[in-house]
Structure 1
Amino acid sequence: MVTVALLLGSAALWGASRLVWFAEFRTAGVRGVVLDQVKGADRAGALVPLAILALAGIAGLIATGGWPRRVLGAVLALAGVAAVWTGVDGARISGFADGLPVTQLLLSRGLAVLGGILLAVGGLAAVKGAGRMPKLGARYSAPGAKRAARDPDTELWEALSEGEDPTTAR
């Protein structure tokens, strides 16, 4: 679930970077009035790096476990919030002139917000389920591996800490 959310979030952010984010009519001298369109990658430069971070986060979540996975999940969740902010910041709902690609303008920002939400959900799910998720190389570790032999005095103190009487015969 986490991997799918991050993968879809990455795809949405990349797709939003390829669509038109800003369009206006301007005078171009001899050519007259032209429609000037700016793509998401040019208008909001954080979209592609956030998409790449989501892909790298998938590899990082698979390779790590425990607290590093939780930290990475928190970073991904914050990146999702940043992506949502990027999609919402500077958005204009009204005032479009005829001939502007309105649906593409709204779709591009909506796709960025959706990608940010998926990124944040994937990051939070990684934080919450860090202990239950499989870890890279976990199938090669022995499930019932015995603890390494340690100092007998240390074992006695640990037995006392656990509430056992180390002087009684087992």
Structure 2
Amino acid sequence: MTAEPDPAAASPRNGVRGPIALMVAAAALMWASSRLTWYTVSSSDGLTEPRTDHLTGSVWFGALTPLALVLLAAVAAVLATRGWPRRLIGVLVALIAAVTAVPAFALFTGSGDLPGRAMALAELPARAGYTDGFTSPLGPALSLVAALAAFAAGVLLARMPRESAQLSGKYDNPVTRREAATEQVENQRTADKPDGGLSERVLWDALDAGADPTDDSPKPGAQATDSPGGKAG
């Protein structure tokens, strides 16, 4: 008997592939963004040569790399949970996306004191004066794309139907899976239905648990009902 994949178990696995792919992509984009220059500031203190500092994403937004690592951890959490905990992870992922988008959005819109922030992050001496500064768009743009991908993943997880939020058979606890298979075999036997109604995956799990799906003998203590009046002959 060749074991075939259980369609019911394969469906939940397919349901989380999209959000997982989006979270992995978002984490990769966030890491790449953290390595790129977000803002370039030029300064002069009147005593030394003018100075130019290139502030990367990890400097401008220090939480960028840690948030990327949190997204990767969320991938593992999605695979290890089911039901409402998985949907809660979706909400948290959406919040991470919102936090990721704020610094880049502020940079593009010029919100806040950008020169003052740049001078502080560049750790310039107090006597230094701001002379020029400009935004390098690629780094913040990648951060915004990452935020959109993470937000989409969070929404998909948060809105995942209950029946689609179950673990795939690949990640089920083997003991739980065998117990469920044994119960299904017993239900089939009680209903006097052929074993063909069970998937081969279930049959294999039942055999692993010590239950023989082909055994039609009554359970110990069961009463025979062949004689008149329903009494044992």
Normalized against structure 2, the TM-score is what?
0.53
Contact 1:70 1:130 (8 Å CA) reproduced = no
State the alpha-carbon separation in 1 of the partners of residues 142 and 161 from structure 2.
28
- Residues 10-63 of structure 1 show CA distances to partners (whole Å, capped at 9, x for unaligned) of 011111111111112112666512321111111111211210111011000000
State the alpha-carbon separation in 2 of the partners of residues 37 and 139 from structure 1.
50
Where 2:71 maps in the other structure, the secondary structure is helix
Residue of structure 2 in register with 1:129 after alignment: 160
Q: Are positions 1:146 and 2:183 aligned together?
A: yes
Contact 1:14 1:48 (8 Å CA) reproduced = yes
Residue of structure 2 in register with 1:16 after alignment: 33
Where 2:67 maps in the other structure, the secondary structure is helix
Alpha-carbon distance change, 27 to 115 in structure 1, aligned in 2, over 3 angstroms: same
State the alpha-carbon separation in 2 of the partners of residues 29 and 134 from structure 1.
65
Q: Are positions 1:108 and 2:145 aligned together?
A: no
State the alpha-carbon separation in 1 of the partners of residues 147 and 182 from structure 2.
42
Structure of greater Rg? 2
- Residues 68-116 of structure 1 show CA distances to partners (whole Å, capped at 9, x for unaligned) of 00111100011111111122123357xxxxxx886xx101110000011
Residue of structure 1 in register with 2:208 after alignment: none
2:101 to 81, 84, 91: 84
Runs of 4+ in 1 over 3 A off after TM superposition: 28-31, 142-145
Contact 2:87 2:158 (8 Å CA) reproduced = yes
Alpha-carbon distance change, 120 to 145 in structure 1, aligned in 2, over 3 angstroms: farther
Q: Are positions 1:35 and 2:48 aligned together?
A: no
Residue of structure 1 in register with 2:88 after alignment: 71
Identity score, percent: 22
Normalized against structure 1, the TM-score is what?
0.72
Structure 2 unaligned residues grouped into runs of 5+: 1-17, 111-132, 185-233
Alpha-carbon distance change, 67 to 133 in structure 1, aligned in 2, over 3 angstroms: closer
1:119 to 121, 133, 150: 150
Structure 1 unaligned residues grouped into runs of 5+: 94-99, 148-170
Where 1:91 maps in the other structure, the secondary structure is helix
